[in-house]
Structure 1
């Protein structure tokens, strides 16, 4: 007779419950599709060709950053904290991540300067560079944030205009009251008693109005509305000739003016191998290419900072090149921001202070800080200030939006839009590249050509 072991119902229920939880956890992590999902995510982040046994320590920094992001996506955590997640991602991976984040159900905090990501994935923006260093929360997406910023700027301008007009009116009242007090009243012959009575009353009224106006002016001056900084705009070059300048050569029908800058057969070691480029007024060129392809080197050669080994760069007589490198080196960094700016602009300190104040790029206390102690973003703004003050005819911009706040990036893009001279851009800013998608030039194998 076979022996049958009696089953414990309570133990079976606990076992089934544990099995159910394990099955749910397995399904939450992708279940039987996890392996395929892992391959898809690794491929999207450019890691599909890396052997599974490849040591992580031998991956590049960009590969390790993409691997960490892939791990987060596959783990599907309950909440996410992402610090510049699109760094080291190509356009395909950025699009994929934006779509994935827009469908992510948990709370997510992203620190990012990627305007395409912000425009497609976020539901609120916290600006850490608000008034007086405060943090300001803006509801909605990136475009809502920009609309709120524009509305706030318009309110500021109206408040400043009202304050200035009111201050001018009160000063005018004081001026009129003073003039009336000086004139007093002329005493008529044989009417001294009437004069004393009426004249005294008039003087008392003038005194009351004067006191009221002075108090009003004092309150206005104690609570001033600061003048909004001017929007960043490139001013016409100081050397630009007037349209009716008789000295300017007349343009003949069917002919255009010679290029403002012309590069022919530019070669430099194995980096540049016969680059040709003509730049005329209104031209826009966005130079793209893999890291190390020589994009920054090309800009340095065009700017005259680095001599080419072969070829020529010809600049139109009197033209001024505005060059913004990725990083500006300040050899006299022990000196203050104001001192360095004044020296580089050949200005006295008062004029340099006024010029920097017009741009609104720095707080008053920043001007006394040694350049070596400025943040990367502050040094970047110093380079931006020099660029806008120089009134260039041509712009060579190497990653111009790096280390800038989003409002400043938008201002810079608007200034670029309005600039009438030629511009060469090297940038990883996707929004900026997409704006000039028809003007892309690819630098590969040391040569500059249209993609495709």
Structure 2
């Protein structure tokens, strides 16, 4: 066992978070910790991390167990160091050994002794054990996986926003490879490619991982056990989130039946006692039954902590067939081009998910559609379109002197106060919370108020930027249900794949400064992307003729092909482009072979450097070390060429598809 709770009770003042809870964490476990917002999930993680002490019971941790804890409070950290340097602090031990090796090397250059050679050999072994030869490569790999470009790595940490800083700290934490990794909403600041990369990385992680997340896709792929914090108790389910949902429903039904059966039994026994307690011949039996009832272990009724309330929309006007049309739109910032001569349209009934990596311009495009961002080109608004735009940067539009309830009343929905309070419950404002002033709310709470206001507007076109960021799983489900019943049209930006898969009937993606439109669901889009990726790999390997690959390209958008694609089975083949493609494929294969040879040489030299006998001959050692450096430099150069050729092949293939 790595860590655990043994009969733990934890209280915040008069509020009990958890009572008499026992939970043991074993090596390599993947656990999802779930519960409604405010129940105390983050508090439990802090108990494991040692930041809080229990009111009763014990938090058990092995002395040798190392714990890494990622949470939002880490954002108070600041430094002038580059993000690469910050992440490399995960290897402070290896860096210290490296400095010691450098000192011994200087002494060896002055005079060689057996004692120095022995010390060098020992330190080298320690350096290898600490992963010293690969730390920079591994750190770069993790940072790039989390969305940073090569040019970002040398930039100062303090230049980045909170979300990007959190990625750096996540990179550092997973590189430290603690025995127990505690992740509090790790996907909140990640785009889809980074979430997918993190999933793959953590699947091979050697330690145990506890994840607090509202992302059901992430939980389903990552965890094999769910621990639910519900009504101050921990309920353990041995499966992923889908298993938990089914199993919990079955448990609730069984408990409800057991409760009802026990209630029938109690009523029957109480009637007997009431009837015969005054009758001499039955009095002793009646007393005996009463004693049994008094000692009975009562089954609790199954109470729903938060009822399933429906959020209803009222759409006032029916718009024309086309809501918005973008023609020849271009958008440029100082250092980046977002769109170049892009066109698209949104039709009545469209429910569009705008997806892709951070920095591609998703939120910018949403603002262009909303008329909140200047651009070149034409944005044509349709007939009878009444829009509502939700974006977290617009929170300043809230009146800070209003209560939450007053703010909702001013939205003009004409709902009663009871209806508004019920709706606010869906957005995690229960009871007296509705009477709080806007000015005392946190950023996340203000975001939920703004989202609730958007939901009760009578708009027939919604623009939503990350609407699920501050919702728990239950509220997320209520929002999905509402959007599925919504009679209007919408476009949303979200990194929550479950949310997208349940709400969108069309996918937009910004690729090469154009808007690519996929007419289908998220699952269909993923399948199409996987087929396209497989086709590209076949093309890159040169194992199939170009004509054959082009022939397999899907046709028009009616069957899921992005509508900006102009090719098809009957498209004319550009012979010059085909010739260039074949040339690049050949070069790609040569570079692949070079990389394989260089990696083999690098592995052989690392083996030599880890052999103590290498240091018996100073000249041989210097020669091996120089060879190792040269191979590393050559690898970096060939890798760069490899990436350029691969991008060229992708471009040529795109032109011919």
TM over 0.5: yes
- Any idea what SS the aligned residue of 2:483 has? helix
User: Equivalent residues in 2 for 1:107-126 (5 A)?
Assistant: 107-125=208-226
| Structure 2 residue corresponding to 1:287, chosen from 354, 375, 393 | 354
Q: Does 1:355 align with 2:399?
A: no
TM-score w.r.t. structure 2 length? 0.44
Give the Å deviation of 1:423.
2.0
Give the Å deviation of 1:41.
4.2
Q: 1:230 to 1:78 in 2, by over 3 A?
A: closer
What is aligned with 1:419? 486
Q: Does 1:73 align with 2:174?
A: yes
Larger Rg: 1
8 A contact 2:227–2:235 mirrored in 1: yes
Q: 1:38 to 1:126 in 2, by over 3 A?
A: same
Give the Å deviation of 1:336.
0.8
Q: Does 1:380 align with 2:481?
A: no
| Structure 1 residue corresponding to 2:392, chosen from 326, 340, 344 | 326
8 A contact 2:400–2:437 mirrored in 1: yes
- Any idea what SS the aligned residue of 1:344 has? coil
What is aligned with 1:237? 315
What is aligned with 2:565? none
What is aligned with 1:336? 403
Which of 1 and 2 has higher RCO (CA within 8 Å, sep 6+)?
A: 1
Q: In the aligned structure 1, how far is the partner of 2:243 from the partner of 2:417?
A: 36
Q: In the aligned structure 2, how far is the partner of 1:295 from the partner of 1:125?
A: 33
Instruction: Name the Cα RMSD after superposition.
Output: 4.6
**Residues 371-380 or 140-149, more deviating:** 140-149
Give the Å deviation of 1:363.
0.7
List runs of 5+ in structure 2 lacking aligned partners.
1-121, 261-300, 518-561, 563-653
Give the Å deviation of 1:333.
1.1
8 A contact 1:285–1:441 mirrored in 2: yes
Q: 1:122 to 1:277 in 2, by over 3 A?
A: same
Q: In the aligned structure 2, how far is the partner of 1:337 from the partner of 1:117?
A: 32
8 A contact 2:411–2:456 mirrored in 1: no
Query: What is the aligned length?
Result: 350
- Any idea what SS the aligned residue of 2:388 has? strand
User: Equivalent residues in 2 for 1:307-322 (5 A)?
Assistant: 310-317=377-384, 319-322=385-388
Q: In the aligned structure 2, how far is the partner of 1:307 from the partner of 1:102?
A: 43
TM-score w.r.t. structure 1 length? 0.60
User: Equivalent residues in 2 for 1:30-41 (5 A)?
Assistant: 30=131, 40-41=141-142
Q: In the aligned structure 2, how far is the partner of 1:55 from the partner of 1:264?
A: 37
Q: In the aligned structure 2, how far is the partner of 1:155 from the partner of 1:400?
A: 36
Q: Does 1:141 align with 2:240?
A: yes
Deviations 1:312-344 (A, max 9, x none): 432322x43233223433442112111111122
User: Equivalent residues in 2 for 1:36-185 (5 A)?
Assistant: 40-41=141-142, 43-45=144-146, 49=150, 54=154, 57=157, 60=160, 65-87=166-188, 89=190, 91-104=192-205, 106-125=207-226, 130=230, 134=232, 137-139=235-237, 140-147=239-246
What is aligned with 1:259? 322
